[in-house]
Each structure stands twice: as structure tokens, then as C-alpha cells.
Amino acid sequence: MPMDLSPIDKAKFVAAKRAVDYVEDGMRVGLGTGSTAAWMVRCLGEIIREEGLNITGVPTSSRTADLARNVGINVISLDEAKWLDLTIDGADEFDADLNLIKGGGGALLQEKIVATASDRMIVIADVAKEVAALGAFPLPVEVIPFGWQTSKALIEETLVNMDVLGQNTTLRMNGDTPFVTDEGNYILDLHLRRISNARQLSLVMNQVPGVVENGLFLDICDVVVIGGGDGTVEVRDINEGTVEQDKMDFTESDNLFADL
């Protein structure tokens, strides 16, 4: 393991390294978006180069697609793949039931479509992402640009009747202009602090005119791989009801870390 990485990056790295053990030759794999998922993509590229692993990747964003091609992964669209064996992605938060908040990287729509088109979803995360209740991380909601302020007002009105601690809603920005997703949409971040009924909130949010999708991933994740800054890894499989713990020790790979 590279010694110059911060503890949080070491945690992301070991989680990603452990998660790629689920990838087998010939698989169609959904490739997530975000800093932890980027480690996973690099790890897959290393295995392809060094061991000849033959997989097809379906990226969840243009950023991930670019990285995947750069490390040697054959990339196709979800329409071409039709169905996936596995998706590996990060999360902004997860709870004991492996429900998630995602979308901090702005790719929640493609991430949710790809994850639900997979036989299994593996989530990779550092230990800080586990929470007792979802909501500390702002909930992203993707909205179309047309009438976004109306959608925002309707969301804020709806939140009054929801069991949440906060109701502040902000438009995600990219400098002085709104952040724009790969689909050309905007993202509203809901600062809720705590979500007591995620299922109800998810259903209600998606009924607001102009809302495309929200960042609550419920009953989608099958396995979470949790990395620690000291190299420890915990793997929780919600379907099998198992918890495995290990400690990983890796030497630095010139190929894997050359672009960092």
C-alpha cells in the first residue's frame, strides 16, 4: 500500500481492491462514479493488464467512461449490454440495512439505472460513510432545468409534512453557474440532517413535477465493502447475513498509481 496516501484514501483503496475480487472473467460490470469508484476502475485496469482479465464495463458517467478507457477497460453502453452481472459503486452514506444516499458526484440517475439493471450491487466505502440514520449527507434530487425554481418550491413545501430534521434546499453550483449532469439536468441538494422514513420520502420526491430521480438507493445494495485507513476491510452481505473481516497489505503498483 502506498505510504504517502492519506488514511481516507487508503481506506478507499483497500475497499476497492477487495471489491474487485467479485469480478470474474467474461462479466459485464457496472462502473460507478466518484473518488472511491475511481480506485476500483484503476484496480480493474491493473488486473486486465497484468492477468488478462476479460470484462466489459458499463460506466455511470462520462468521467468514469474516460477513466475506464484510459486504463484499458472495454466500455459499452447499458443499451448494448442490456443486463449486467455486477455493479460496483461508492456511496455517500449507508445504514445498517444497506440503504444508501448517492449522488454527491452528480451521477445519481445513471448510477441508479445501472445498479438496478444488475444481478448484484457491491458498494465500496470508507468507515466514515456508515450512519445510524440516513440524512446527514445532503440528499441529491435531479430536476430538469425548465421550471427548476418551481420544482424547488414544491419540494420545500412537501418537506414540511415529512419526518425530517431540516428542510433547507440548495441548487448545486459549479462555480458561478448551476452544476449540470450528463443528462443536462440540475441537482437540488436537500439538507435534511435526518430521514426517518426514507421509503416515503423517496416516493413523494419522485411525484414532484420536474423531478427526474432522487439519491435514495433503497433495497438495491447487496454487499458493502468497508475500508479502514489501517488496511482493514469488512464485507457485509445482506442476503447471506454474513460479515467477514480481513486486513489487506499491498505494495505500490507503478501502473495503478502513475496517474495520481
pLDDT at 244: 96
Domain boundaries, the chain: 7-130+219-257, 139-214
Chain segment 211-230, per-residue pLDDT in tens: 999 999 999 999 999 999 99
Average pLDDT on 157-186 reads 97
pTM score: 0.94
The pLDDT score that the predictor gives to residue 254 is 45
Please determine whether the domains at 7-130+219-257 and 139-214 fall in the same fold group of CATH: no
pLDDT(260) > 70: no
* Model pLDDT, residue 229: 93
Average pLDDT over residues 31-36: 96
For residue 257, pLDDT over 70 is answered with no
**Is the pLDDT confidence value at 259 over 70?**
no
Correct CATH for 7-130+219-257 of 3.40.630.10, 3.40.50.1360, 3.20.20.140, 3.40.50.150: 3.40.50.1360
Say if residue 24's pLDDT is above 90. yes
Question: Average pLDDT, whole number, for the chain?
Answer: 94
What pLDDT, in 10s, does the model give residues 110-145?
A: 999 999 999 999 999 999 999 999 999 999 999 999
pLDDT at 239 over 90: yes
Binding residues for substrate: 33-36, 89-92, 102-105, 129
Looking at the chain, the whole-number percentage of residues with pLDDT higher than 90 is 92
Catalytic residues: 111
When mean pLDDT is compared across 91-105, 173-187, 244-258, the lowest value belongs to 244-258
Q: What percent of the chain has a predicted confidence (pLDDT) above 70? A: 95
- The 3-class SS string of the chain reads CCCCCCHHHHHHHHHHHHHHHHCCCCCEEEECCCHHHHHHHHHHHHHHHHHCCCCEEEECCHHHHHHHHHCCCEECCHHHHCCECEEEECCCEECCCCCEECCCCCCHHHHHHHHHCECCEEEEEEHHHECCCCCCCCEEEEECCCCHHHHHHHHHHHHCCCCECCCEEEECEECCEECCCCCCCEEEEEECCCECCHHHHHHHHCCCCCEEEECEECCCCCEEEEECCCCEEEEEECCCCEEEEEECCCCCCHHHHCCC
Selected residue with higher pLDDT from 58 and 3: 58
Class of domain 139-214: alpha beta
pLDDT reported for residue 196 = 96
